[in-house]
């Protein structure tokens, strides 16, 4: 029996896949649990249309990520932090602070989870930071840590 998977099924396939399974497996397990539906012509067409829409959405997101990465590359973001006289910070500069500075200085809204720091920034100066935008798309920019005037 041919079915269209509505959810990922381990060992069978992923969402939207049209697979051939035993009648009993489909009727007694997949369909009652809402994991699949019978593959009629109408359902197959709907699944293909949905797959095309998902692919288009993914392409648009990828293009937007590339544009954002290109615009971010080469930027220098200034972050202010409390520091001692020898240039060491009281604490470290976090991805939250970097994301907030990006938004404030350049109007770029970036999720803090996408910013990758090799090691915590604990001193004044310039550090390179990567931002993972999308699959195989990332931007490298500089973070300049300056002493906070109180």
Report the distance separating Cα 53 and Cα 58, nearest Å: 9
Find the CATH number of the domain harbouring 108.
3.10.430.100
Residue 66 lies in a domain: no
pTM: 0.68
pLDDT one-digit tens code per residue, 25-53: 999 999 999 999 999 999 999 888 988 99
Question: Is there a domain that residue 88 lies in?
Answer: yes
Both 52 and 95 in one domain: the answer is no
- CA-based nearest residue to 115, from 128, 103, 99: 99
Six token digits for residue 116:
């990758």
**98 occurs within a structural domain:** yes
Count of structural domains within the chain: 2
What's the domain range around 129?
72-147
Domain-embedded: residue 67:
no
**pLDDT tens digit string along 66-81?**
998 888 888 899 999 9
């Amino acid at each position: 029996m041919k079915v269209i998977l509505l959810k990922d099924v381990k060992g069978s396939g992923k969402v939207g896949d049209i697979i051939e399974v035993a009648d009993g497996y489909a009727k007694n397990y997949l369909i009652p649990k809402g994991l699949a539906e019978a593959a009629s012509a109408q359902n197959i067409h709907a699944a293909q249309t949905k797959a095309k829409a998902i692919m288009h959405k993914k392409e648009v997101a990828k293009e937007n990520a590339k544009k954002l990465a290109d615009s971010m590359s080469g930027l220098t973001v200034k972050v202010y932090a409390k520091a001692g006289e020898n240039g060491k910070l009281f604490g470290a500069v976090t991805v939250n602070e970097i994301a907030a500075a990006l938004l404030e200085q350049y109007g770029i809204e970036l999720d803090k989870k996408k910013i990758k720091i090799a090691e915590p920034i604990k001193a004044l100066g310039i550090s390179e930071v990567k931002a993972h935008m999308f699959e195989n798309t990332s931007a490298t920019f500089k973070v300049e840590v300056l002493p906070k005037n109180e």
